[in-house]
Amino acid sequence: MLFVIGPPRSGSTLLARMIGAHSLIYGRPEPHLLTPLAHLGYYAKVDKAPYDAVLAAEAQREFVAALPHGEQDYVDACRAYCDILYERMLATQPHKRLFLDKTPAYALVLDFIARIYPRAKYVVLTRHPLAVFSSYAASFFNGDYAAAQAYNPLLDRYVPALATFLRQRPVPIFHVVYEQLVADPERVLGEIFAFIGVPNEPQAVEYGRQEPAARGLGDPIGVKQHSRPTTESVDKWAIEIAASPDRLALCREIVARLDPADLALWGHPADTLWAPLEAAGASGRAPAPRRLDRYRLERLLIVKLRALVQRRPFLRRWLGTVRLGADVLLRE
């Protein structure tokens, strides 16, 4: 097993496409096998599950405590579940040897994943935190940074989670900094292949010339615009933030809550964190106009509609009625 771990909008799709272009590695976009498994109740609860999560967790712990090897039996069972699915998917590609799972949400359940797959290889990707946040706001909220932060405080969640993982290193980890990856992709990819234990295949850098990626979740925007890594987006985010006092103020509030030690582990220490924005502000360049393509429009509509439903209880009841009617009509 091979995991690419990184926050949303960090370039993890790009990195996974490059690694997955290796002749011995097979990857599919974001299978999300481990996130729901981590919240079955034994380790973390599901607040809105269709059962009593408190009672389920208590019952599972009593049951697991009575097993011959206790918690280790539970871990083995979780691994067996994933092994069957991963192995049978890998078997569809007989010439491949490693299965690559790139699911950004895994960064928030890393303790669990390290228990299940302690001998897997983990490639951890970090990017300038404000570049991550800017891309998230642009991709899903049409540039509304305040709405993005209110909906999901991305950096507050992912920076400490990944920094803790990098600090403790409970499993084999190779840390990749996005800005270094796109600046020197051949060197970085060669180091990743050496860490994984496969022969170097420099041509994998040209991921766009390899077999088309399997359909699934993941970034369908930037990664399809190029056939290999590019530095085009390294500083673009800084121009967008520096041009807006409101965005800049919000970003300063967010960064002020982050631990400088965590930022240093990400590869972007506090003493140089603001340098790209200072350079962008001094340049006087205006941000490029944002294209609202189908992908961004779909996500923007979903976010806006969910916010509307939360503010209008009658819409929630109406949608519930519509769903019930659809379930009845579609019943087999």
- Report d(CA 266, CA 254) in Å as an integer: 16
Percent with pLDDT over 90 in the chain: 56
Q: How far are the Cα atoms of 133, 142, 287 from residue 147, in angstroms, in the given order?
A: 12, 10, 20
Any idea of the CA torsion for 260, 262, 264, 266, to the nearest 10 degrees? Answer: -140
- From the list 76, 113, 111, 105, the residue with the least C-alpha distance to 1 is 113
- State pLDDT tens for residues 290-305: 666 666 677 677 777 7
List, run by run, the mean pLDDT of 10-residue segments along the chain (332 residues).
93 92 90 84 65 73 92 95 95 95 93 95 97 90 89 95 97 96 94 97 84 57 60 80 92 97 96 92 69 68 75 77 69 60
- State pLDDT tens for residues 235-281: 889 988 998 999 999 999 999 999 999 999 999 999 999 999 998 87
Superfamily name with CATH number, domain 2-290: P-loop containing nucleotide triphosphate hydrolases (3.40.50.300)
Q: How far are the Cα atoms of 130, 210, 241, 266, 292 from residue 247, in angstroms, in the given order?
A: 11, 39, 6, 22, 20
pTM of the entire predicted model: 0.82
Average pLDDT over all residues of the chain: 86
| Distance separating the N- and C-terminal Cα atoms of the chain | 38
Q: Residues 259, 238: contact at Cβ < 8 Å?
A: no
Domain positions in the chain are 2-290, 294-332
pLDDT score of 24: 96
